[in-house]
Structure 1
Amino acid sequence: MYGIQVVQDPRPTTVRSAAVLSNLAPITAWGWAWIAGSSVAIACALIGGRRPAVLWIGFACAMYPPALWGIAFASAYLFGTYPGAWTGAATWGGAALRLLIVATWRDDTPARPEAEAMDE
């Protein structure tokens, strides 16, 4: 949902905070990156099942937009572009960190017999 908002109506504070990314591509392109990452993450969650490689791809795609946003907001704060960007850096960096933590959790639940048959 956030990517749609960035594409349709980017907030001025977002544009100022993401100035580093705006130098590389228009802000709407970054909104589409959010949408693409989210779409791949959802698809991987739906088809991943007990396939760790697919789930890792999904987690990586879910994690890269907030990680990029966190880095962009942190640089806006550190370089003085937008002094209030530290809150966004903490928020987006924390979101990426939470995804990384969840991605490393082990799934110790036993497989259902019908799920094992489908994997063969």
Structure 2
Amino acid sequence: MWGNVALVAAGGFCGAIARYYISKKMAERFQSSVPYGTLTVNLTGCFLLGLLIGGDWGNPVLLLAGTGFMGALTTFSTLQLELVGLARKSRYRALIGYITASYVLGIGLSYIGYCVGRAI
């Protein structure tokens, strides 16, 4: 059991650092009401998790990369908070675009990742 905890912790540590770095760089590069950093990490996580599940890599890899890394990289709570922020600022066009991109592209990228994983 402690080996599994260590895998999740190591993956989570790396995923949190990656999320921070990517989000910071995206915010610096794109000055916009749309939070591109969160969008990027969430969509990347959708694809990569689909790839892992489709590839049937086994429990240790799923714990390290899926639960740990992707769990810390992606963030559902930040997505929801940013959606509320856009609504409170009456940025409805950005709100609709962000919702659409997050959910439609997220599901699509998860499926594409799954298909790629099955193929390799």
TM-score by length of 1: 0.38
Q: Higher helix proportion, which one?
A: 2
Structure of higher RCO (CA pairs closer than 8 Å, 6+ residues apart): 2
TM-score by length of 2: 0.38
- For the pair shown, the structure with the greater C-alpha radius of gyration is 1
